Chain A
Amino acid sequence: MTDQPPIISIRNVTKRFGTVTAVDDVSIDIKRGEFFALLGPSGCGKTTLLRMLAGFETASEGSIEIDGQPMLSVPPNRRPVNMVFQSYAVFPHMTVFDNVAYGLKVTGVPKAQVAGQVREALALVHLEDYGRRKPDQLSGGQRQRVALARALVKKPKVLLLDEPLSALDAKLREAMRLELVHLQHSVGITFVIVTHDQDEALSMADRAAVMDHGVVRQIAAPGTLYEHPNSRFVADFIGKMNLLEAKVAGVSGGRLAVEIDGLGRIDVPHEGDASGEIGIAVRPEKTRLSKEPPAGDLIGLKGKVSDVAYYGNESHVLLDTDTGVRFTTTVQNEVRRTDSSVLIGDNLWISWSPEDTLVLSE
């Protein structure tokens, strides 16, 4: 898989709508058989990028190749990709069967083969018995399955999904995540999914591109995005992050000395170079609360509890630290009790290991 050329190759693609630059000089290679996510806040250009892959928008600059073929002047109906629309776009006047058969019929697949292929596709999404129904007799989740079957029956090289889960309720969304991943494994097709939900991207994708205002900030596997974000934007967008502004005071042998207002000088591990203003960050779950100042080389900050949010399995404690920055930490509720072990107004120390500290130069 690693040596094969990418199935999709996006090269320096820019898309402008009048004065708005929706996609700005984006380059991405998507591997064959990969589950790839385009992740970013609303309006960052995810949908526009996906629509350029499908052929509904033309890039203002740059090139897109799918399976080695340049796609510049190829209309949507001639591209080896299929799309699942955010609204599902299931044809309301056709039965489920006819919806799935549509893509085969219009391209002249012999009648004799259509029925079999449609039945196969419906089985894939567990809708075998729904062929005769009309879309208005289906639930949202079922309609989405129809949209999936309708695209998969075409055996595309890439399946494009625009926020496929956003219209479902929370429980169903969770179930569909797993199902989409299983589906992708069983059909072996490359999936490109657009989402603004970081949990969705982290839990489903093999790799994700994090976008911000039309620019790709980082492309990496979920673990890397979470543990080694390359910028404040990615760190903040994916998961919760405690962030301190710092000044570099010195670099030596894989360690970085930084100066932080209200904390003083600390030492953190860091590969490579850094200078000037940087961000020092730590994930909430990597921090501890204690009554006493931390021992050893742990980094500690004193603060006052300003809020405790209870989530059942864990609680989120907000701490106003001496640096003026509000920290979040998670406390696992390991013991069964209904009163909180941490109270608002408590003066506590928050601490973490230098190894868990992130240095964000962007």
Chain B
Amino acid sequence: MTEATIRPPRRRRSRSEINPLDYLKRPWMQLTLFLSFLFLYFPIVTLVAFSFNDSKRNITWKGFTWKYYEKALNNDSLHDAFVNSMIVAGTSTVVSTALGAMLGLALHRYRFPWKGTYEGVAHLPIVIPEICMGVAMLVFFNAIGMKLSLTTITVSHIAFTIPFVAVVIRARMTGFDVSLEEASRDLGASEWQTFWHVTFPYMIPGLVAGALMAFVLSLDDFVITFFTAGVGSTTFPIKIYSMLRFSVTPEVNAASTVLIVITLSLTLVAMIVQSRWAKGRQQ
């Protein structure tokens, strides 16, 4: 789901390459495509379909109903978990986008001793297994005597989403013409004015993509949240998981479908915003 937003905005295609769509005419290509779509989407389609199934069990189709959506909607603890998730994702997105953008910009612009090492360490959370991150966070919060709550979840989400934002911003900045900043300074603008009038507008598509990625990563994070959540600070994915432990009802399907719809629409919004920007500022 998040892959679509990781990629930097697409640049002009080189004219000489073969039209990729031509490959679609080949049978082996069609077969591969069919199989990958089947494996990728069949579980999801089933999940969504059975959220409308008028049966207590997810095995046979008994007819269409909105019943389980109503049930999920009226489930107070599910509702609370959703609100919690929104608070965590919203807050951590704002903070990690700001910090990640600064990190990305600094890594793009400055040269300093040990930069390579610093960069590697800063990007470590991308590759460190989530389970380790989760344990580490838990140990850390215990060590400093911080009670597990929404705050601890938010802090750990900020920590692991920053590098993702930084990567996106850095990718965006590689296409930036530094002489634009120099021109701005030359025309009498201070560094601060230059940043807001020239650099920042250029960063916006990267910021949108980065923020969206941070939001989605935070919204559907399970492992790290599981370790850093305290009593009464259940998030949506954790709640869904705990519902599963009692019984696999279509209500779980309904809740999951809601999550899918939210992430998909956010991705769509981001793609539209990005393509608008790309169109408005072709060089």
Contact = CB atoms under 8 A, between A and B. Distances in A.
A56 interface: yes
Given A77-B186, A89-B177, 19 more contacts: A56-B182, A76-B185, A77-B189, A87-B179, A89-B179, A91-B183, A92-B202, A93-B202, A103-B187, A103-B188, A106-B184, A106-B197, A107-B189, A134-B280, A134-B281, A135-B283, A136-B283, A147-B183, A150-B183
A58 interface: no
B189 A91 contact: no
Interface string A144-162: 0001001100100000000
Which bucket holds chain A's interface residue count? Answer: 20 to 34
A107 B177 contact: no
A54 interface: yes
**Residue from A55, A76, A78 whose CB has the most chain B CB atoms within 10 Å:** A76
B232 interface: no
**Which of A77, A86, A87, A147 has most chain B Cβ within 10 Å?**
A77
Nearest to A87: B179
A77 B281 contact: no
8 contacts: A54-B182, A77-B186, A82-B186, A89-B179, A92-B283, A102-B197, A106-B193, A151-B186
Interface string A71-108: 00001111000110111010111000000001100110
Contacts of B197: 91, 102, 106
Interface of A: 54-56, 75-78, 82-83, 85-87, 89, 91-93, 102-103, 106-107, 134-136, 147, 150-151, 154
Nearest to A56: B182
Interface of B: 177, 179-180, 182-190, 193, 197-198, 201-202, 280-283
Nearest to B187: A103
Given A87-B177, A93-B202, A154 B188 contact: yes
User: Per DSSP, are chain B's interface residues mostly helix, strand or loop, or mixed?
Assistant: helix
Nearest to B183: A89
B183 A83 contact: yes
A147 B179 CA distance: 12
Contacts of B193: 106
B273 to A, nearest CB: 15
A93 B187 CA distance: 17
A46 to B, nearest CB: 16
Nearest to B279: A136
A135 B280 CA distance: 10
B182 A76 contact: yes
Nearest to B185: A76
B58 to A, nearest CB: 51
Given A91-B198, A106-B193, A106-B197, A77 B283 contact: no
Nearest to B188: A107
Contacts of B198: 91
B280 A106 contact: no
Most buried by A among B180, B187, B188, B189: B187
B281 A54 contact: no
Contacts of B184: 91, 102, 106
Contacts of B177: 87, 89
Identify the interface centre among B189, B201, B280: most chain A CB within 10 Å of its CB.
B189
The 6 closest A-B CB pairs, nearest first, are A103-B187, A89-B183, A106-B189, A89-B179, A107-B188, A76-B185
Given A85-B179, A136-B282, A93 B186 contact: no
B280 to A, nearest CB: 7
A89 B182 contact: yes
Contacts of A154: 187-188
Given A85-B179, A91-B180, A93-B202, A76 B283 contact: no
Nearest to B201: A93
Given A87-B179, A89-B177, A91-B180, A77 B190 contact: yes
A154 B281 CA distance: 26
Given A75-B185, A106-B188, A150-B187, A93 B280 contact: yes
Nearest to B282: A136
Contacts of B185: 55-56, 75-77
Contact of B281 (A92, A102, A103): A92
A102 B187 contact: yes
A76 B185 CA distance: 6
Most B C-beta atoms less than 10 A away, residue of A54, A75, A85, A86: A85
Nearest to A162: B179
A10 B185 CA distance: 22
Nearest to A102: B187
A50 to B, nearest CB: 11
A87 B178 CA distance: 10
A83 B283 contact: no
Contacts of B183: 83, 85, 89, 91, 147, 150
